[in-house]
Amino acid sequence: MLVTQRTTGADRVRMVARQLTEPRTANWIASEADWFYEPTKRVPERLVDNGVIRRTDEGRHTTYRPDYRQQAMREAMALCDDADSVEQLTDRLSGIKTQIQEWKSTCDVSSPNELRATIADTDLSSDKESEHLEGRLEIVRFAVREWDFLSSSAAFVETSD
């Protein structure tokens, strides 16, 4: 017997809220999730309570935004899980640094903002790739520093009293 699983409105709201990249209102989330506004309001609040997203009460409307710290932690854990060793992750870090240095040299810039300013003279895809690498650099550095804690292969031994 084949069972077809359908997502509920609350499931869609959770998916939309977890994928936020900028502050959005509950009304926007409801629209994206194709669900009613009233029940939508409760779902982001539960996600806020669970530390998945953040609420901002500044301005006329309450908005919900990503929890960048939690996203960075998840990404660092995924990096550690995908690497076979801390050395492999360190090599990845070195590769990112080399790529950034090459762009800085090629474009004669010293910061990501200067690189973005050269967009009229360079290829858009390399500018976006450079910005992406700059952002990931800190996360990869963190993952290397915290390998023992973040790695799924880390041995956590319970002691009995």
DSSP conformational letter for 41: H
Q: What is the mean pLDDT of residues 106-124?
A: 67
Tell me: the pLDDT tens digits for 55-97?
Answer: 999 888 999 998 888 888 888 998 999 998 999 999 989 998 8
Q: How many structural domains comprise the chain?
A: 2
Structure tokens at 121: 């003279």
The CATH number for 17's domain is 1.10.10.10
pLDDT-based confidence at residue 1 (cuts at 50, 70, 90): very low
In which region does residue 51 sit, left (phi positive, over 0), alpha (psi from -120 to 50) or beta (all else)?
left
**In this structure, are 61 and 43 located in the same domain?**
yes
**In this structure, are 62 and 95 located in the same domain?**
no
Of 37, 49, 40, nearest to 13 by C-alpha is 40
**In this structure, are 81 and 35 located in the same domain?**
no
pTM exceeds 0.85, yes or no:
no
How many Å apart are CA 134 and CA 82, to the nearest integer? 20
